[in-house]
Chains A and B, each alone.
Chain A
Amino acid sequence: MSEINLEQPGPGHTPGVVPDETSIEQRETQGLSQGQIVRKRFFRHRAAVVSMIVLAFVVLLAFTSVGLALPGIRIPGWWQWNWTETPELVDNGRPTLNLVPGPGFGIGVHPFGQDQVGHDIFAVVMRGAQQSLMIMVIVGVVGTVIGVLFGALAGFYRGWVDTVLMRFTDVIITIPYIVVGAVVGRAVGGLGAALLGIFLGLFSWMGLARLVRGEFLSLREREFVDAARVSGASDRRIIFKHILPNSVGVIIVAATLLMASAILAETALSFLGYGVRFPDTSLGLIISENQAAFATRPWLFWWPGLFIIIIALCVNFIGDGLRDAFDPRQKKMPSPKALARAAAKKASKAFSKPATS
């Protein structure tokens, strides 16, 4: 590492000018805030940034295309069909999406095709993606809130609070998620996606609670907590203002990965028939309803699966990027090739514009 620093002009060599090819770690002396460092490190993770853009696009597409159905209100979207309409079958329901330049290029009437009754699969998949995304977020929020609360209390107070909360965590973690999900889904699945999400969230906080407890156990021994305590801060203030912001990295990463597993769990439960039920739909349910038709209408099967994978993959990559961004031990040094390229670039710049400083 030091070798590379010797070859590179150090920060502060030319005041005010940041050499753009050095890594963020080499610019530690610049006085960036924690948030700025994390943001810069995150944006360096190419897969995570691409995933974030793709996920934003999917969310936008899912929620604007077919609109929303809130209790009592129906906000229409820009797409011509919705997921309950059954227009006439066009070309036996084959997808009209054609991305090959030439005659027939364009998205057509039913880009993802139709099922045997005539439902527009684009609208159905968009509705399914809405439901799956919504459940994913609800599970993430509920699981994170409970996990942080339990972990924080157990790690901060230790003693009998810790024992009670952690033994309770042990009990719930013994029950496999898919099992409790199936039993709970069987009971409340018919009551709508939001409620299903809340109930699934009630059983998905255990890993997070353990992580947060570990963080709290180590952070509560640090000097800044002692300093806060002797200056008269209440327990609540120490927990929420002093320790919690310092463990936010662990929490965000764990919450992201929790959401990634939540979407797979929800689709699996809906597939088994314990999740979202007819007449509403979800990505897992579409696959389950149409799996027998694979030979005749494969598009009923490809599109919902593709959307599950896109969403889960994006969330996983974002989680990976966040983990790299928050991990202080991650110091990615540029490869020899990249360093040579950067040096060459700098040399050519210096040659063309000799008088910048």
Chain B
Amino acid sequence: MASFITRRLIAAFFVLLAATFVMYMLTWAAVDPLRDLREGNAPNKAQLIEARSNLLDLDVPVFFRYFLWLAGVGKCFIGQCDFGTSIQGLPITTLLSQAIGSTIQLVTVAQILAIILGIIVGITTALRQYSGYDYVVTFFSFLFFSLPIFWVAVLLKQFVAIGFNDWLGSPEIAIPVIIGLTVLSGFFWFSVVGGSPKRRWASFAVGAAAAAALLFYFNAVDWFSTPFIGPVGVVLTAVAAAFGVTAVSVGLKDRKALIAALVTAGLGIVAYFPMYYFLSAYMTLPIFVGLAVLTVVVGAVIGFLLGGKDKAASARTSAIVAFVVGGVVALDCHLYWWSAYVGSSRVGGRPIATVGSQTPNLGGNFWIQGIDTFTHLLLPTIAIILISFASLTRYTRASMLEVMNQDYIRTARSKGLTQRTVVVRHALRNAMIPITTIIALDIGALIGGAVITEFVFGWSGMGQLFQKGLNSQDPGPVMAFFVVTGLLAVVFNLVADLLYAALDPRIRVS
């Protein structure tokens, strides 16, 4: 294994080296950093050209200039990166470090959500193959797959941002919308729940009624002006999470795991009150992250101590429940500040932003900053999710179908195992092997794909660095962008290979 990794690392290094060479030649063929000076008519034109030539080493032939550039980049190994300077003379390392954080913030949330959604929908469509739900999802994933992201972005700005902000002026859900959402929710549950027609129509009725009740409740309490979850909401979601997560992961028959999950949920509910009324005023990012980790750890410990035979599964279940309850509590703390955020002079009652990554000079506490990040991330996140969700759903569905048709699944069924055990324990684990590698490759290609998203949403990250560099005939930022994306692609390629070898014992690395 060690020699395999070493050999792959060496190969990856040379591949990256060759790729940077190709890109360097292409970039210098495409841009002409002296053009604006040559076409301009500044009085000291000759000196300006001379200065920039010195700055960018233009007197060295491009082939040798690559090695000068490479020497600078190579200093990264000793901690002194030097990507050269832009045509204005700014060091590119500074520009890069600003851009990288912004892009990572943009793509991480979107990618995580797309992965969770894509896998869940992929699995459910595979389990209900050739149902109405399957056909609807298949059609929409093909549609999303064929959508140009820049076109979607303009639509999102117009209808989600501007439309929603207008609607927030007097937020009342219209009756036709309620009817539509009710039917949609009923259809979803009808399709996802299997079994006899009677059981499915019952789930249709329950799903539709729940949606209708919720929407009428929102209207009644004017929820969208002053959104809240409240103690009742927290209790309801916590108990539902305890039952739901247990039912899917270990089954409700495992009483000890269920009790552990319920105890975790109860502890979360108890912690809600001091959190909401007292602690939330002192929140900072390190405390927030610390509390999140603490929540999950406490959940895992409770699950481990109270669990029955399979302590690890019980610990996992309770940790997930703890995470969900913690998330709901954090959400309610954010919602508490929502009307303050919307009413602030900088936001002016139009919360969903169409461009940029934050409201300038907003101020406010941790929660208000959190809402601000959320409102800016919303549109680009939806756009990215729509596109990556489509391929993830298709892959998960295909992989799951392939596994569900295997002989060992039939064996598991004929032993009399429940559907849950067969799907979650036998099928899902093997179906996830190819998906894991696909996700690893996706992440490697993520930043390169974010160029268009950043452009349309005015997000000042890596993509904009690349684009501005290309437009202003500046090769430095273009190459810096490429080094980062190329490095990510190579590294995650390697990760994908290693994951595959680690997850699938049939693959022998030699």
A contacts, CB < 8 Å to B: 167, 170-180, 182-184, 186-187, 260, 264, 267-268, 271-274, 284, 287-288, 291, 294-295, 301, 305, 308-309, 312-313, 316-317, 320, 335
Contacts and interface: CB of A to CB of B under 8 A. Distances in A.
Given A268-B148, A271-B148, A301-B154, A179 B448 contact: yes
A313 B481 CA distance: 32
B146 A312 contact: yes
B36 to A, nearest CB: 15
Interface centre among A171, A180, A271 (most CB of B within 10 A): A171
B287 interface: no
Contact of A174 (B30, B466, B486): B486
Overall SS of chain A's interface: helix
Interface of B: 11, 14-16, 18-19, 22-23, 26-27, 29-31, 130, 142-143, 145-151, 154, 158, 445, 448-449, 451-452, 455, 466-467, 470-471, 478, 481-482, 485-486, 489-490
Given A317-B142, A335-B130, A174 B15 contact: yes
14 contacts: A170-B15, A171-B22, A174-B486, A175-B22, A176-B489, A178-B449, A179-B451, A179-B485, A268-B452, A271-B150, A288-B150, A291-B154, A309-B146, A309-B147
A174 B154 contact: no
A313 B22 contact: no
B142 A187 contact: no
B142 A316 contact: yes
B23 to A, nearest CB: 6
A178 B16 CA distance: 18
Nearest to A288: B150
Given A272-B452, A294-B158, 12 more contacts: A171-B18, A174-B19, A176-B445, A180-B26, A268-B149, A272-B451, A291-B150, A294-B154, A301-B151, A305-B148, A309-B146, A312-B145
Contacts of A177: 448
Interface centre among A178, A288, A291, A335 (most CB of B within 10 A): A178
B461 to A, nearest CB: 14
B387 to A, nearest CB: 10
Contacts, number: 116
Contacts of B150: 267-268, 271, 284, 287-288, 291
Contact of A182 (B146, B449, B470): B470
Nearest to B139: A47
A260 B146 contact: yes
A184 B452 contact: no
Contacts of A295: 158
A272 B456 CA distance: 9
Contacts of A313: 142-143, 146
Interface centre among B470, B486, B490 (most CB of A within 10 A): B470
Contacts of B130: 335
Nearest to B151: A305
A272 B154 contact: no
Given A171-B22, A305-B151, A178 B448 contact: yes
Contacts of A172: 19, 22
A178 B452 contact: yes
Contact of A176 (B26, B158, B485): B485
Contacts of A317: 142
Contacts of A179: 23, 448, 451, 466, 481-482, 485
